[in-house]
Structure 1
């Protein structure tokens, strides 16, 4: 199979392995040890801040990037922490701090929210992304880069 030697840029399809870790070394996600994933730059598969990291990389290159919260999952927003009436939750549910529920959003999609406190009257739910406010270590191995129109 012939390889087309182009760097990662707009209009390319990238085949890569990656891992996402926190600064304390705990791994959040990884596909090292498995087949590479592929996606077209700009298709939404990667957050824009992660895509920008790999621009200019070529097949065979591996780099570790430190991605600040602003370029990763954002900073926590206090408006995303909401108090809901306890009676919105079924009585047979044992509420626990850290429990994640799926809530319907305005568009009919699902929005995960984590319980951070509760009493008999109210349940406080945090709808921020669990990795909001965290610096992410993004380890990337590029296997192949080709013009996206080949697919």
Structure 2
């Protein structure tokens, strides 16, 4: 059992339930994080904590233990006049807004009307169940 505070290095490949891959450490250094520090989604940490170095396994993480369900209040409409000058908004375009404490919040434009745009501030993987192929490389 890996204890909170220990650092782990893990290789992973993440796929959605439809089989589409959304991320992988293949060809890169393994992901390194501290157990219990909230650096990765809860279901990922749960899936790793009982692994042994060298072990490979598959885990399924429901949306509620990943990036949560899509929240309707995270979809908002803004006047185009609030956009930076010269920006030509298009559906699918990513923007960065500022959160309440000034932190950057990535959003995506989902619709463009005559005077307004609609943006979605949900995480792109919100509402998705996630699947991971894991290989534990190291524990410190």
Q: Say whether the 8 Å CA contact 1:9–1:56 is kept in structure 2.
A: no
Note if 1:136 corresponds to 2:130: yes
What 5-or-longer segments of structure 1 have no aligned partner?
Answer: 1-6, 147-151
Task: Look up the match of 2:8.
Answer: 14
Instruction: Choose 30-39 or 56-65, whichever is displaced more.
Output: 30-39
Of the three residues 76, 100, 106, the one matched with 2:94 is 100
Secondary structure of the 1:144 match is: strand
Task: Look up the match of 1:77.
Answer: 71
Of the three residues 121, 124, 138, the one matched with 1:127 is 121
Q: Say whether the 8 Å CA contact 1:23–1:135 is kept in structure 2.
A: yes
Secondary structure of the 1:51 match is: helix
Cα root mean square deviation, aligned: 1.5
- In 1, Cα distance between equivalents of 2:21 and 2:122: 20
- Runs of 4+ aligned residues of structure 1 deviating over 4 Å after TM superposition are none
Which entry has the higher C-alpha Rg, 1 or 2? 1
Aligned residues: 140
Secondary structure of the 1:141 match is: strand
Question: CA shift at 1:93, angstroms?
Answer: 1.8
What 5-or-longer segments of structure 2 have no aligned partner?
Answer: none
